[in-house]
Chains A and B, each alone.
Chain A
Amino acid sequence: METDLWILLAGWLVATLRSATPLLFVTLGETLTQRTGVINLGVEGEMLAGACFGFAVAVTTGSPWLGLAAGALAGGTLSLLHAGLVLGARANQIGSGIAVWMIALGTTSYVGRGFVGQKVTPLPQLVGPGAGDGLLGVLFRQLTAPAPLAFLAVVLAAWWLANTRAGLAWRVAGESARVAAENGLRPTWIRLQAIVLGGLLSGLGGAVLSVDYTQTWAQEITKGRGLIAVGLVIVARWRPILVLPVCLMFGLAEVAVLRVQAAGVEASSYLIATAPYAAVLIVLVVGHRSARRSRTMPADLRSIFS
C-alpha cells in the first residue's frame, strides 16, 4: 500500500519533469539573454521554429537526436533576426520580438503542413526494462535524456554566470552597456552571443516539446510557452537556478490539468486548460513586487520594462 503511494507520486514527478523540460530550456535561454539587458519575446517564435524544424528533421532522417540538433539550430538562426533588429538597427525590443514571432507563426504553419499526423522514432529511455519495478525503476524508465540535460544546463549556467570572467562580463553588460564599454568589454558582441544562445536553447526546448514530449507536430504547438517563459524569468528574478522551481511549478500545473481532464471530471476541458496560464499570472502577481526590487534585475532592462 505504501509503495503504491510512492509509485503514484513517482508517476506525478516523472510527468511533471517531462512537461517542464521544454520550458526549462526556453526559460533558461531567456534568463541568460535578459541578464545581458535584452528582452526577447521572439522566443515564442524561436521555440515554434525549433519544434517545427526539429520534428521535420526527426521524421525525415528517422533520428530524434538529429531532430533536437536541427531544432536548436532553427531557433538560433531565427534569433539572429532579433539580434539584427535590436542590436543592428536599435529597434524596439518588444516590437522586434513580436515581428520574429509573426514570421515564425507563418513559416512553421507552411512548413509544418506536411508533417501533421506523422510519427517520430522516440528517444530511448534512460534505463531499460530490466531496472525493476522499484521507485527508481519507475522513475527512470519513463525519462529520456532531455530532462537530466535540462537540469544540468541550468546548474551549469548558474555556476558559469556567477563564477567565471565571461559570466561577469555578461552581468556587467546587462547592468550597463556604457560601463561595460568603458571597461573594455564589447556589450553589443556579448548581447549578440546571449541572444543567439537564447535562440539555440529555445529552439532546443521547442524540439524537445515536439520530438520527445508530445511526439507530434500541430500548428502553434507551443501555445504561448515561450511567452510564459518570458514571464517566468521575472518570477525567477533573473537567476538561472530559480528557473528550476519556477518551471517545475508550471509543469505540475500542466500535469494536473492533463490528469483532471483524463479523469473525466464534470468540467469543460477547455476551462481546465486555462489553469497553467492562470498559475503563471498568479505567481507573477505574487512574485513581481519583490522581483522588481530584486538586485538581480539587470539595470538596462528597467528602461524596457517601465
Chain B
Amino acid sequence: MSAREGWITFAATLAAFLMLSAIFFLLLGKPPLEMGLSLVEFAFGDAYSLSETLAKASPILFCALAVAVPGRLGLISVGAEGQLYIGAITGTALVLGFPELPPLAMIPLMLAAAALGGAAWGLVPGLLRARLDINETIVTLILNYCAVLFASALVFGPWRDPANQGWPATAPFPPAAVPPAVDGKVHLGLLIGVLLALALHVFFTRGRAAVHIRILAGNRKVGRTFGLDFAFWVTALMATGGAIAGIGGIIEVAAIQGRLQPSISLGYGLTGFLVSWLARHRPLVILPIALLVGGLLAGSDALQLFAKVPAASATILEGLLFATALAVPGLIARWRRSDGN
C-alpha cells in the first residue's frame, strides 16, 4: 500500500467511525457534536484529564506491544489480558515475599518477576503452536479466563489481607514497590512502555533477526529453505509478548491500585489487541494510537460521570472503531475494482 492510499484509508476510516459514533450518541438521546467535543476535552483538555488519559494509555500500550510482538510473525495472540494478570500475580508474589527490599532492588526485581510470569504464560500457547501446531488464538483466549480465576483464587484466599475486613485484596504494597511518578498517575511505567516500543521498533526494522522474522511472516516455506527456524521464533516471540504484558500488569497494580485486587484490568487486553491491529503491529504507530484510545477510555469515564453516558459506551465505541477499521480497506478495494471494470 502506498503512502497516499494509506492516508485515504485512514481518513475514510476516521470519517466512518465519527459517523457511527454520532449515530450511537443519537441512539442514546445525546447531542453527538457536544458529546464528541466533551469527550475530547475530558481526554486531553487540561493537565488533570491528560494525566487520566496517560494512566489509561499505559496498560493499553503494554498490551498492544504484547500483541504486536507475535503479530510481526503473523501470529494472532489475544492473550495479553491473561499475561497481564499472571505478571501482576508473580510480581505481587515477589513484593509480598520480600517486603523489606530497598527501593533500588525492589522495583527491578518486581518487574523481572512479572516479566517471567507473563513470559511463562505466553510460552504455553507458544510451545503448543511451535511443537504441536495448535492454533494460538484459541489457546490464548482460553488461558485468559484461567489467569483471571487464578488472581481471584489468590486474592480471595491465601493472599487476602485480614486487615481489609472481608474486602478481597492483598496488603498494600510497601512504598519501595511503588514506581516513582510525576503528578500522581503519570508514572515510571509509561516511560518503560515508550522505551520498549522504541527498542522493539529497532529490533523489528534493523538487523538480521528483523529480516528472518519478515521472511517467515511472509512465507514459512521460503523461510525453511533459508534454514530459518519458525518454531524457535514462535516460542521466543510469544514468550516475549507475554513478558511485556506481564510488566504492564504489575505496573498497573503497583502504580495505580497499590495492591493486588481481583479485577486488575478493565478489558485492557482486548483494547490492546485493537490498538496493535490498528497500528498493524508497528510499535511506533502503537504509541500515538494507545494514547488516543487511552483518551477515549478516560474521556468516556468522565462523560459517564458528567453526562450520564452509559459505562459501556467505551467498549461499544471501541468495537465500532474496530469494525470500521476492518471494513474500510476492503470496501475501498471493492469500490476500486468495480470502478476499474
A: residues with CB less than 8 A from B are: 41, 81, 84-85, 88-92, 94-96, 98-107, 109-110, 113, 223-224, 227-228, 230-231, 234, 268, 270-271, 273-274, 277-278, 280-281, 284-285, 288-289, 292, 305-306
Are A109 and B134 closer than 8 Å at their CB atoms?
no
Are B312 and A96 closer than 8 Å at their CB atoms?
no
Are B142 and A281 closer than 8 Å at their CB atoms?
yes
10 nearest A-B residue pairs (beta carbon): A89-B330, A106-B315, A102-B319, A106-B316, A103-B319, A270-B153, A91-B326, A99-B322, A268-B153, A110-B312
Known contacts: A89-B334, A268-B157. The answer to whether A273 contacts B149 by CB under 8 A is yes
Known contacts: A89-B330, A292-B133, A305-B135. The answer to whether A95 contacts B277 by CB under 8 A is yes
Are A84 and B319 closer than 8 Å at their CB atoms?
no
Are B323 and A228 closer than 8 Å at their CB atoms?
no
Q: 28 A-B residue contacts at CB 8 Å? A: A89-B326, A90-B334, A92-B326, A95-B277, A96-B323, A98-B274, A98-B322, A101-B319, A103-B323, A104-B319, A106-B314, A106-B316, A106-B318, A107-B312, A110-B311, A110-B312, A113-B310, A223-B145, A227-B138, A228-B142, A268-B153, A268-B157, A270-B152, A271-B150, A274-B150, A277-B145, A285-B132, A305-B135
Are B149 and A270 closer than 8 Å at their CB atoms?
yes
Are A95 and B149 closer than 8 Å at their CB atoms?
no
| Docked CA distance A63–B238 (Å) | 48
Task: Name the residue in B144, B150, B312, B329 with the highest tally of chain A Cβ atoms < 10 Å from its Cβ.
Answer: B312
Contacts of B310 in A (CB 8 A): 110, 113
Task: Tell me if B320 counts as interface (CB < 8 A to partner A).
Answer: yes
Task: Name the residue in B132, B134, B220 with the highest tally of chain A Cβ atoms < 10 Å from its Cβ.
Answer: B134
Are B274 and A102 closer than 8 Å at their CB atoms?
yes
Known contacts: A284-B134, A285-B132. The answer to whether A99 contacts B323 by CB under 8 A is yes
Known contacts: A85-B326, A89-B330, A270-B153. The answer to whether A99 contacts B138 by CB under 8 A is no
| Docked CA distance A85–B331 (Å) | 9
| Docked CA distance A81–B316 (Å) | 14
Task: Tell me if B303 counts as interface (CB < 8 A to partner A).
Answer: no
- Cross-chain contact of B327 among A89, A94, A271, A305 (Cβ < 8 A): A89
- Cross-chain contact of A106 among B141, B142, B277, B319 (Cβ < 8 A): B319
B: residues with CB less than 8 A from A are: 76, 78, 128, 132-135, 137-139, 141-146, 149-150, 152-153, 156-157, 220, 267, 270, 273-274, 277, 310-320, 322-323, 326-331, 333-334
Are B149 and A91 closer than 8 Å at their CB atoms?
no
Contacts of A85 in B (CB 8 A): 323, 326-327, 330
Contacts of B323 in A (CB 8 A): 81, 85, 96, 99-100, 103
Are B319 and A105 closer than 8 Å at their CB atoms?
yes
Are A103 and B330 closer than 8 Å at their CB atoms?
no
Are A280 and B142 closer than 8 Å at their CB atoms?
yes
Contacts of A92 in B (CB 8 A): 326
Contacts of A89 in B (CB 8 A): 326-331, 334
Are A95 and B312 closer than 8 Å at their CB atoms?
no
Are A90 and B333 closer than 8 Å at their CB atoms?
yes
| Docked CA distance A102–B128 (Å) | 27
Are A99 and B316 closer than 8 Å at their CB atoms?
no
Contacts of B312 in A (CB 8 A): 105-107, 109-110
- A4 CB, min distance to chain B CBs, angstroms: 34
Contacts of B128 in A (CB 8 A): 285
- Output the nearest chain B residue to A87 by Cβ-Cβ distance: B330
Are B330 and A102 closer than 8 Å at their CB atoms?
no
Contacts of B322 in A (CB 8 A): 95, 98-99, 102
| Docked CA distance A137–B271 (Å) | 50
| Docked CA distance A182–B255 (Å) | 60
Contacts of A100 in B (CB 8 A): 319, 323
Are A231 and B331 closer than 8 Å at their CB atoms?
no
Contacts of B330 in A (CB 8 A): 85, 88-91
Contacts of A41 in B (CB 8 A): 137, 141
- A249 CB, min distance to chain B CBs, angstroms: 15
Contacts of B142 in A (CB 8 A): 224, 227-228, 231, 277, 280-281
Contacts of B319 in A (CB 8 A): 99-106
- Output the nearest chain A residue to B74 by Cβ-Cβ distance: A306
Are B156 and A268 closer than 8 Å at their CB atoms?
yes
Contacts of A95 in B (CB 8 A): 277, 322, 326
| Docked CA distance A292–B317 (Å) | 37
| Docked CA distance A284–B141 (Å) | 13
| Docked CA distance A227–B135 (Å) | 13
- B169 CB, min distance to chain A CBs, angstroms: 15
| Docked CA distance A90–B329 (Å) | 9
- B242 CB, min distance to chain A CBs, angstroms: 16
Are B316 and A284 closer than 8 Å at their CB atoms?
no
- A218 CB, min distance to chain B CBs, angstroms: 14
- Output the nearest chain B residue to A90 by Cβ-Cβ distance: B330
- A101 CB, min distance to chain B CBs, angstroms: 8
Are A224 and B145 closer than 8 Å at their CB atoms?
yes
Contacts of A91 in B (CB 8 A): 326-327, 329-330
Contacts of B141 in A (CB 8 A): 41, 224, 227
Are B138 and A284 closer than 8 Å at their CB atoms?
yes
Are B138 and A271 closer than 8 Å at their CB atoms?
no
| Docked CA distance A113–B139 (Å) | 31
- Cross-chain contact of B78 among A98, A110, A228, A305 (Cβ < 8 A): A98
Are A102 and B150 closer than 8 Å at their CB atoms?
no
| Docked CA distance A203–B230 (Å) | 39
Are B311 and A109 closer than 8 Å at their CB atoms?
yes
Contacts of B145 in A (CB 8 A): 223-224, 274, 277
